[in-house]
A and B are shown apart, each in its own frame.
Chain A
Amino acid sequence: MSFDEHEGKSELEQRVMEEVESLLAYTGDEEHVEPLDDLAERRWIDTMLDEVETAPFEDERDAGSGSRFRRFAIAAGGLAAAAAVAIGLYFALSSPEVAPIGERPTDPALLGTGTILLSSGELTTPEARSAVGRELEPGSTVDASGGRMVIALPTGITLMLERGGQLAIERLDDRAAEVRLDRGELLASVSPGRRGPEFAVTTGRGRIVVTGTVFSVSSNAEWVAVEVIRGAVQLEEARDGRRTIEASRRALLGEAGDTAIDAADHRAAKDKARLLDMLSADDGATIEIRSVPSGAEVALDGTILGKTPLGAAVRPGHRDLDLALADHGAVRERLDLSPGAAVDRVFEMRPLEDLAVRDSEPLTAAPAKAKSASAVPSHLSSKELLRLAQSLRAAKDWRGAAQTYQALAKRYPGTAEARTALVSLGGIQLDHLGRPARALSNFEAYLRGGGGALTPEALYGKARSLRRLGREAAETAALRELLVRYPGAIQAPQARKRLEKLSADETP
């Protein structure tokens, strides 16, 4: 196959089209989509196999509203004081089923209890550190004023309550699973093959009904917003009855219409949903991670869990643990987690001095066999290390490439190769390893060194890192600097577009 009209086109344009053809051809030898890690692939396939085994084919013909294996994401907010309204709304909207004449209604059967899978951040009570594994009965209140909490409920429901949030478990029986959001932001995941009663979140301004998948809720004094990342959800509002919100749309409860969700918000919600897949109440290992100073961002296999002090019940396996704290050296340790294991670590975060590639060591317990820069051959020159890192990157061995770039930056500081390594390392950390804080440190380290040919890339990388960290003011400054200094850079169009978006968001 070839494109058939090359007359009058430049030689370069013709070559481009030929290359595109060759690039599109599927041979099975090269990835056309981003590769899945083993864990993600296994879990995804397990989900599909469960679905094949548990539901009739006809049920799954259509992915329209009501499909069980869709994932949802909803954000909602409301007055904490309006919780009473939510309860009233719940009773008004979910009247009990009327039993047929001659049949005596039976009491609902309790499905089980909830379990705390993760707690993080500054703690409000002394015992909160050991909250992981604690059971929650209907009527329990979960307060995440210290930091992010994750809770598992029976029948495959997982809830992530962000810092500052509070929810109450209202019902967990064979007729209904209900939680009430008093305040804060909640992301919930309902497993695809779920069998169980209707699951709903009540808020001060309405009720969100989920027939299967993932959702989140947050609290604001003035409004309740619902954002659907995948699939659709049903909203029950006091005056308007039920309405459906489809994927990628956002709606305010009590107000007509809906709008598109920002792409960055969409990605952020998906990242959070991935975290839920890493946790397990059944066969998990318990980790307790603290740092000095506290507040370090904790990531497991590149997925950010929360901030120290942090406890979590995670799926067993070999895991890379990373800690990152602004202006401090990053920490990495390989954890070998067997089912039921308990791992307790305290790390000292050392202030960053010259480069942002310094490792820390745990204060307790010997470091595990971590992949580290020291694993990189020591006899290689700076140029050889750079070539090695580039070849690893070409082979998509992101961790190997990052370690090699780190080794290069540490062993040959000040060389052109080491400075190049900082920018490449930052890019890998940002785009493939999920470590925006560390990426930011490396981009900034390059810029502090006086810049060079890679300055536009470093500035744009810095801006993208700041965006991932939610620091919009600093992101704006970095984008402006890029456009002022390098208005013709290849990154300039994207930088302008992003700046326009940021400006539009600021406009009331």
Chain B
Amino acid sequence: MLAEFDSDYELTQAAAQGDRSARRLMAERLLDRVRTTVRYISADDRDQDDWVQIAMIEILRSARTFQGSGSLESWSDRIAVRSAMRHLKRRRKKESVVELQEDPRHEPEVNPSEGHTRMAIRRQVARLLGTISGDRRTCVVLRLVYGYSIDEIAEMTAAPRNTVRDRLKRGRKQLKDKVRRDALLKEWVNLRTI
């Protein structure tokens, strides 16, 4: 939180009243987190910048609804996730697929000279995540990236607890299978332990 405001609540209320500097502070603070959420949930969709922009605008316009009882980040996560899930549904209708396979349009961009940097490895993991179906992927992202509980994920995704539990179990198994077979990830871990 920045010095001009004593609390996140004050920040969001100022933003809700049209204070541009407060809105800017909110945007600067949350942009990286929203980009991360969208990147993993969208599976590197080509329109992910648009998804981010839409989610950020929804967050800024919803500033009045922040009660100050939890963290600003958790509150914004809920909005970003709902926004991203709407895009997923729309894309699913358009593509008429239930289970995403490795998308041939997205060539893995292995960059030899970049070596095994953590960013490069994250890109690889994001690609593997992208092969899991959208609902499962959303649950896995909320669990592994942000550490949300099953109850919290159920509330964020508007799904029953048992459904979330099942999506998590199957999604993690799918990810595990992909990770186990991935040569780049193996090489990375091997080099780190030499």
Contact = CB atoms under 8 A, between A and B. Distances in A.
Given A1-B147, A12-B189, A60-B57, A230 B113 contact: no
Nearest to A456: B112
Most chain B beta-carbon neighbours within 10 Å: one of A21, A23, A246, A498: A23
B150 to A, nearest CB: 12
Q: Is the interface on chain B under 10, 10 to 19, 20 to 34, or 35 or more residues?
A: 35 or more
A30 B118 contact: yes
A15 B193 contact: yes
Nearest to B121: A23
Interface stretch (A64-72, A169-177, A336-344, A370-378): A64-72
Contacts of A460: 112
Given A26-B33, A31-B32, A53-B20, A490 B112 contact: yes
Contacts of A15: 189, 193
Contact of B145 (A26, A231, A498): A26
Interface stretch (A40-48, A84-92, A154-162): A40-48
A44 B40 CA distance: 20
B167 interface: no
A161 B182 CA distance: 43
Nearest to B21: A49
Contact of A45 (B31, B118, B175): B31
A32 B117 CA distance: 12
A69 B186 contact: no
Interface in A219-256: 229-231, 246-248
A151 interface: no
B144 A24 contact: yes
A247 to B, nearest CB: 5
A491 interface: yes
Nearest to B183: A490
Interface in B180-194: 180, 182-190, 192-193
A457 interface: yes
Interface stretch (A105-113, A180-188, A358-366, A423-431): A423-431
A391 interface: no
A52 interface: yes
B92 to A, nearest CB: 14
B39 A33 contact: yes
Most chain A beta-carbon neighbours within 10 Å: one of B53, B87, B147: B53
Most chain B beta-carbon neighbours within 10 Å: one of A19, A28, A71, A430: A19
Given A41-B31, A63-B87, A70-B50, A491 B190 contact: no
B27 A20 contact: no
A427 B111 contact: yes
Interface string B29-51: 00111011001100000110111
Given A9-B180, A26-B36, A32-B39, A457 B28 contact: no
B46 A52 contact: no
A101 interface: no
A484 interface: no
Interface stretch (B2-10, B101-109, B152-160): B101-109
A20 B50 contact: no
Contacts of A498: 107
A231 B50 contact: yes
A49 B15 CA distance: 10
A51 B59 CA distance: 12
B50 A17 contact: no
Contacts of B58: 57, 60
A394 B117 contact: yes
Contacts of A52: 23, 57, 60-61
A230 B50 contact: yes
Interface in B104-130: 105-108, 110-114, 117-119, 121-122, 125
Contacts of A53: 18, 20
A25 interface: yes
Contact of B114 (A19, A30, A247, A427): A427
Contacts of B49: 230
Interface of A: 1, 3, 5, 9, 12-13, 15-17, 19-21, 23-26, 28, 30-34, 41, 44-45, 47-49, 51-53, 57, 60, 62-64, 69-71, 192, 229-231, 246-248, 260, 262-263, 266, 393-394, 396, 423-424, 426-428, 430-431, 456-457, 460-461, 490-491, 494, 497-498
21 contacts: A1-B143, A3-B176, A9-B180, A12-B186, A16-B185, A25-B145, A26-B33, A26-B36, A32-B36, A33-B35, A48-B60, A52-B57, A63-B50, A63-B54, A69-B50, A71-B50, A192-B53, A248-B105, A394-B117, A461-B112, A490-B187
Q: 3 closest A-B pairs (Cβ-Cβ)?
A: A427-B113, A457-B112, A32-B36
